[in-house]
Structure 1
Amino acid sequence: MKSNDKTGTEPNERSSGDAEITESTGNVFADLGFEAEEAANLKVRARLMVRLRRFIKERGMTQDEAADYFGVNQPRISDLVNKKIDKFSIDTLVNMLTQAGVGVKIDFNEAESSSNESAKVPA
């Protein structure tokens, strides 16, 4: 990339005193260096977990009450509350949200769609 003439930084970087600030890609996991597929998966799971935690908090549930509600044990809710993202699959989180009556909507960005999606399959 070409550096910015005024600051000597890359165009997507800004200088703030001694620290360099780089604009986010919109996915903190990608920014942290995860491969694109894993970063996308982590971002989805994180958003689902945030919504589940909000559901539990809005209803004032204890971990034991939430465990009973979702039909899991209390340590499983503790993992959710403590943001242990590696302990949950997208399927599990979607199932829990559905059980809570929370709809899940999926959006696709054109930049994220595969070029194979529009490929014609011979009959």
Structure 2
Amino acid sequence: MGVLDKFIEESRDRDVYLVEKAKLDFAFSLEEQRRLSGKKPADIAKALKVSRAYISKVFRGDVNFTIESMVKLARAVGAELTVRATPAPASVDWATIAANPNANNTNAIPVNSVVSIKEYKLTNCNTGIAA
């Protein structure tokens, strides 16, 4: 594992990484709901009495959201905000699994890791943004 790979892997355990991931997850989800509602970003800006530039930052995940702002944004696209804590996914050594595709690796993959990955990919696919 190279220095950069190690840095990236270690960063995933840091709060700053998890905060940015949460902001992007919310932005992707909000964009999905916006598209389903048929609303344009300008419609949301007008409804919330904020600038279109702010809404652009929101959909890039470039905003320090408050719970209040997340609720207002969700309502503006006809959605509801749900916040919950979930168990952290267990670490999976995907390189070992990929190197031994015929091995019985069912015990090596924690169920909550697989579910989390599938949910994340489905969310991103629905928004048209590549994971």
Runs of 5+ unmatched residues, structure 2: 91-131
Q: Which has the higher contact order (CA 8 A, sep 6+)?
A: 2
Cα distance per residue 1:68-119 (max 9 Å; x no partner): 23332211112233x1x3323253334422554313131321679xxxxxxx
Deviations 1:37-79 (A, max 9, x none): 1111111111111111112111222221121233322111122
Contact 1:49–1:93 at 8 Å: present in 2 too? no
Which residues in structure 2 correspond to 1:1-123 (within 5 Å)? 31=9, 33=11, 36-81=14-59, 83=60, 85-91=61-67, 92-98=69-75, 100-109=78-87
TM-score (norm 2): 0.48
Report if aligned partners of 1:63, 1:74 keep a CA contact under 8 Å in 2.
Answer: yes
- Kindly indicate which of the two structures has a greater share of residues assigned to helix: 2
Q: Any idea what the Cα deviations from partners look like across 1:16-51, whole Å, max 9, x if unmatched?
A: xxxxxx7xxxxxxx5484661111111111111111
Structure 1: runs of 5+ lacking an equivalent:
1-9, 11-21, 23-29, 113-123
Provide closer, same or farther for how the CA distance between residues 32 and 106 of structure 1 changes in structure 2, counting only shifts above 3 A.
Answer: same
Structure 1 stretches of 4+ moved >4 Å: none
Query: Which structure carries more strand by proportion?
Result: 1
Distance 1:56 1:109, change over 3 A: same
In the aligned structure 1, how far is the partner of 2:62 from the partner of 2:35?
21
Secondary structure of the 1:75 match is helix
Q: Could you tell me which amino acid in structure 1 is paired with residue 63 of structure 2?
A: K
TM-score of the superposition, structure 1-length normalised?
Answer: 0.51
Distance 1:32 1:77 in 2: 32
Q: CA 1:94–1:77 in 2, change beyond 3 Å: closer, same or farther? A: same
Q: How many residues align?
A: 84
Pair member with larger Rg: 1
